[in-house]
Structure 1
Amino acid sequence: MISSLVSPFASPFAAHATVIAATFVLAGFVKGVTGMGLPTVAMGVLGTLMLPAQAAALLLLPSFVTNLWQLFAGPSVRALVGRLWPMMVGIVAGTLAAASFIAGAGGAWAVVGLGAALTLYAVAGLLAWRFSVPARHERWLSPAIGAITGVVTGGTGVFVVPAVPYLQGLALKKEDLVQALGLSFTVSTIALAIGLASAHAFALDELSASLVAVAPALIGMWIGQRVRGLISAASFRRWFFICLLGLGIQLMARAFV
């Protein structure tokens, strides 16, 4: 039954091919400028066109490729894995536990959950919520944050809450933070793919549509990296969060109209 939700996967892709390509160019651009945002933007826009499980399956390869690129763009991979592995274990466990929700068990509430996650992230960004994580608390807080992030990922396809605020609170160097985000998002993508496959909402023969989306995402990311120093980061982030807020509210409202 769950697989029937995704069996017409090629149909929404074909019907909205231009919009999907433009979405991944935009999502890649945002990631190129800010170091994050590809799955968030993609899920937000595609969630208005198709089921969340279909949108999540479509973003798997673009998210994996761009996050792997981001992860290995610096020298600190081994040190970050050694520090953050409890968080990564939590992400995998939480995602696998919750993946059946986005895969179909959640029904219309999966869309509401997606909208709520986008809205919360946008509000946190607009209000510039920041907190510091004392080193003595990392041992227990890291796996807890990972597990919560995994549950949100498995339920909505969005990787950023609360992983991004937590990683920002670790006082990492700028380059290390970008790599840490790449590590978190890469693990989340892999865990989501396994979760969707386990719930029979994603199959290997459906990778072709996701593969087609890789090129627009890479093009957008390349453009974003080139213009990163030419635009105001603060202004860009503000409008990014405003747009996410609008998408989140629109997705939540769909359940009540």
Structure 2
Amino acid sequence: MLSDPYLVVLAFCVFLFAGLIKGTIGLGLPTISLGLLTAFIGLPQAMALMLVPAFLTNVWQALAGGHARQVMHRVWPFLLAATITVPIGASALTLVDLDLLSALLGVLLISYSAVNLAGLRLMVEAHREGWVGPVLGAINGVFSGMTGSYSVPGVMFLQGIGLPRDQLIQAMGMLYLGSTIALAAALGGSGLMSASLGFGSLLAVVPALTGVFIGQKVRRRLSETQFRRVFFVALLLLGIYIFLESIRSLLG
């Protein structure tokens, strides 16, 4: 990839844009970068390239905020299940048609966007958290390994248990961070993380962090509500495109 100037410029622009989204609304870097890159270079390569930027931009989110102990005490069964099942899903990358997995990514992006645009919210009663968390965590981990998308249904669960805003953001950071580490290990173990892709992922940190910095400046000037709506509409269209292209490739 690094030998192709077009792909280098493409990756730079994608991570700059994804970082901008992350800095503006606090989420979206893995989702946006994965969705856009998959449309051009394929799912496993896109997953590999997003790893280092996703790791670094979520370390602070997971550790900062002062609520790590409370959050971990409440959701550790969910986080554990979401992390240890990632390799199970990642095994599909060498066993299942990649166009089928790309179609699944499209479905997840469509679902995630549609739920947020409709304002729907999963409600999990306190006495059910003990078993709902690990079940949804395991599903989230398998989907993360298969597609690189960390949000469905994990973020819905974290929203549904009624965490205060600061704790929710920190819990999401923990989910993304654990999933990224597990996915990196799974890709490396499957031989899908080449030295070239690893170096490319490291270089992608520069535009990603630049985008985050710009996004933080933009956040002060824009309505977050309006920006989130535009973001999810764009994500919905991207998901539809990836799904249709994958189905076309499967049928062709």
% identical equivalent positions: 38
Say whether residues 1:25 and 2:32 are aligned partners: no
Tell me the TM-score normalised to structure 2 length.
0.93
User: Which structure 1 residue ranges, 5 or more long, are not aligned?
Assistant: 1-8
Q: In the aligned structure 1, how far is the partner of 2:247 from the partner of 2:81?
A: 33
Counterpart secondary structure, 1:136 = helix
Say whether residues 1:50 and 2:59 are aligned partners: no
The answer for the alignment partner of 1:91 in structure 2 is 82
The answer for the alignment partner of 1:109 in structure 2 is 100
Counterpart secondary structure, 1:16 = helix
Say whether residues 1:165 and 2:156 are aligned partners: yes
Say whether residues 1:66 and 2:57 are aligned partners: yes
Shift of residue 205, structure 1, vs aligned partner: 6.2
The answer for the alignment partner of 2:32 in structure 1 is 41
Show CA shifts across 1:123-169 (max 9, x none).
Answer: 11111111322111111111111111111111111011011111111
Q: In the aligned structure 2, how far is the partner of 1:83 from the partner of 1:57?
A: 31
User: Which structure 2 residue ranges, 5 or more long, are not aligned?
Assistant: none
The answer for the alignment partner of 1:250 in structure 2 is 241
The answer for the alignment partner of 1:219 in structure 2 is 210
Root-mean-square deviation (Å)? 1.6
Contact 2:106/2:242 (8 A) holds in 1: yes
- Give 2:83's aligned amino acid: V
Shift of residue 214, structure 1, vs aligned partner: 0.6
Change (3 A) 1:204 1:19: closer
Q: In the aligned structure 2, how far is the partner of 1:15 from the partner of 1:113?
A: 27
Shift of residue 33, structure 1, vs aligned partner: 1.9
1:184 equivalent among 158, 164, 175: 175
Shift of residue 25, structure 1, vs aligned partner: 1.3
Say whether residues 1:140 and 2:131 are aligned partners: yes
- Give 1:174's aligned amino acid: R
- Give 1:20's aligned amino acid: A
Q: In the aligned structure 2, how far is the partner of 1:102 from the partner of 1:125?
A: 28
Shift of residue 104, structure 1, vs aligned partner: 5.8
Q: In the aligned structure 1, how far is the partner of 2:83 from the partner of 2:122?
A: 24
Moved segments of 4+, more than 6 Å? none
